[in-house]
Amino acid sequence: MKKTVTTLADGRELIYYDARGDAVRDGVDVRPLDPVSSRSEIRYDALLGDNVVIASHRQTRTYHPPADECPLCPSADGRQSEIPAADYEVAVFENRFPSLAGDAGRCEVVCFTADHDASFADLTPERAALVLDAWTDRTAELAERPGVEQVYCFENRGAEIGVTLGHPHGQIYAFPFTTPRTALQLRNAAEHRARTGRNLFDDLVARERADGVRVVLESEHWIAFVPYAAHWPYEIHLHPTRRVPDLRALDDAARTDFAQIYLELLRRFDRIFGPDEPPTPYIAAWHQAPFAGADREEFGLHLELFTVRRAPGRLKFLAGTESGMGAFMNDVPPEAAAERLREVATT
């Protein structure tokens, strides 16, 4: 992998990742941009015990631009975008409208391909592996920034999820605090260790493997299953078979194996609802351990993949019990979801 670091016209960092060692990325951003002004504020909710980010400047962010004005496409034909190169493989840059910035963290955009009309599922295994390398490199570098406690790599796809840019991309958030979901998982893991003497993540994977009915796909180094208590109609958790706390700790064999199994899962997602349905909207979220704390080795890195579509032409909107009380109700039994995801395997 070749990594090329440069800056955009307003001083934000832009990083190219290339599989080829001879790639040249010397394009210059000539846009007359003003420096980014972020007004992020982190407020603590004493009642719930978590943090809320207030970021009013994001109200003016780019919203559903036409394809010929996409800020994530390469710069070409006199049109300048966020990426001054005429082509690229994987590019990462600081978000122009960040929720987190400065001492409050950092937000980055990850562009998986220069092809505006592609999706992650369309990538080659080699390109998917390069994206994994970029996620890992960013996790490692952001971990060294003062004040960063946790790095979250994720992709939102589809207007139904709230995506405002159609170009295939994801994001990386460097949080100055441990996110609530992670803190809860760590507490449950600690209680499980105290009660049983075993690791919670190991036991969950072992349970799913032994039961088998919810396992969707398994290779030598990864296992994908619909969790026993899935919150979403179609939800998959992808775990490395050797537990590690974050992306940096994956060994070479797991990294090599990842691309094939993840691409297969994404392609199955697009087949769930039949050939007449548009591409399945989804969120793909990497759960990584916080960088501090003696309990980080108890955490198990995993990727959570889920969709808000529950049936052809129908979305799962959060009900009052779910939005108001956090008590989820799932209309699709996890065993039925797993069976459907096995049925739509690539032939």
Residue 220 has pLDDT above 80, yes or no: yes
| Confidence (pLDDT) at 65 | 72
Whether 59 shows a pLDDT value over 60: the answer reads: no
Q: What does the pLDDT read at residue 76? A: 87
Asked which of 61-75, 145-159, 190-204, 286-300 is least confident by mean pLDDT, the reply is 61-75
CA dist 323 and 90 (Å) reads: 36
From the list 291, 307, 84, the residue with the least C-alpha distance to 174 is 291
Residue 244: band (very low, low, confident or very high) from pLDDT cuts 50, 70, 90 = very high
User: Looking at this protein, which amino acid is placed at residue 85?
Assistant: A
Q: Please pick, among 57, 116, 167, 169, the residue that the annotation labels catalytic.
A: 169
The domains of the chain are located at 2-175, 180-343
60-64, 202-206, 250-254 — which is least confidently predicted? 60-64
Considering the chain, what is the average pLDDT of its residues?
93
167 catalytic? Reply is no
Say if residues 7 and 82 touch (Cβ distance below 8 Å). no
**Dist. CA 172–CA 13, nearest whole Å:** 14
- Are 236 and 305 in contact by the 8 Å Cβ rule? The answer is yes
Architecture of domain 180-343: 2-Layer Sandwich (3.30)
Which fold would CATH assign to domain 2-175? HIT family, subunit A (3.30.428)
